[in-house]
């Protein structure tokens, strides 16, 4: 039974890291009975973006706190600055990364919770050599994400059939 509120300041929470990004989890599967997870995330300029993917059983939302974050949403590219909000329903191809020259900071929510994925992602990225895209995609598949075929390839595939 959960009978106590949780309070975290900026830069506080359960700290995980991957791709040069610090992730401070404010809410986790354990604290929300799996309903959602919420993290404050930093993105370094020029950092590696997640492979473009879709969530098969999850909704994801982003709220930019500082900096500029470039979102690729299907065929659209949107650069969000401070106070921008992006909702990515399950099934929508997306990726994101820092579009600026300074560190960006944003809130990311997953419903249902996905902090277990980020625990495993941290383990992958703690090796001496960063994981290959293939290894990272295998992890993503285990957590309900599928690779998104780039739109250019999707058009070529449709034309050839």
Q: What is the CATH number of the domain that holds 114?
A: 2.60.120.10
Q: How many distinct helices (H) and strands (E) make up the chain?
A: 4, 11
Q: How many structural domains comprise the chain?
A: 1
Residues contacting 2, CB < 8 A, separation 6+: 31, 33
Check pLDDT > 50 for residue 132.
yes
Asked if residue 6 is part of any domain, the answer here is: no
Q: Which domain holds residue 118?
A: 14-160
Asked if residue 87 is part of any domain, the answer here is: yes
At residue 46, the 3 state secondary structure works out as coil
Asked if residue 145 is part of any domain, the answer here is: yes
Among 42, 38, 44, 43, CA closest to 13? 38
- What pTM was computed for the model? 0.85
Give the model's pLDDT for residue 124: 87
Asked if residue 40 is part of any domain, the answer here is: yes
Asked if residue 9 is part of any domain, the answer here is: no
Asked if residue 7 is part of any domain, the answer here is: no
The residue ranking higher by pLDDT, 80 or 47, is 80
Burial 44-62 (b: 16+ CB within 10 A, else e): eeeeeebebbbbeebbbbb
Burial 120-156 (b: 16+ CB within 10 A, else e): ebeebbeeeeebeeeebbeebeebbbebbeeeeeeee
The residue ranking higher by pLDDT, 120 or 1, is 120
Asked if residue 54 is part of any domain, the answer here is: yes
Asked if residue 1 is part of any domain, the answer here is: no
């Amino acid at each position: 039974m959960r009978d106590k509120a949780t309070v975290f300041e900026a830069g506080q929470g359960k700290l995980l890291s991957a791709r040069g990004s610090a992730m401070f989890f404010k809410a986790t599967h354990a604290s929300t009975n799996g309903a959602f997870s919420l993290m404050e995330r930093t993105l370094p300029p020029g950092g590696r973006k997640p492979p473009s993917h879709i969530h098969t059983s999850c909704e994801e939302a982003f709220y930019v706190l500082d900096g500029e974050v470039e979102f690729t949403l299907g065929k659209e590219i949107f650069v969000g600055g401070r106070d921008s909000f992006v909702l990515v329903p399950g099934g929508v191809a997306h990726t994101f990364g820092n579009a600026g020259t300074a560190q960006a900071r944003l809130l990311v929510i997953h419903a249902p919770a996905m902090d277990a994925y980020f625990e495993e992602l941290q383990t992958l990225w703690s090796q001496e050599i960063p994981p290959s895209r293939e290894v990272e995609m295998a992890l993503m598949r285990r957590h309900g994400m599928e690779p998104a075929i780039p739109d250019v390839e999707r058009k070529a595939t449709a034309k050839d059939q």
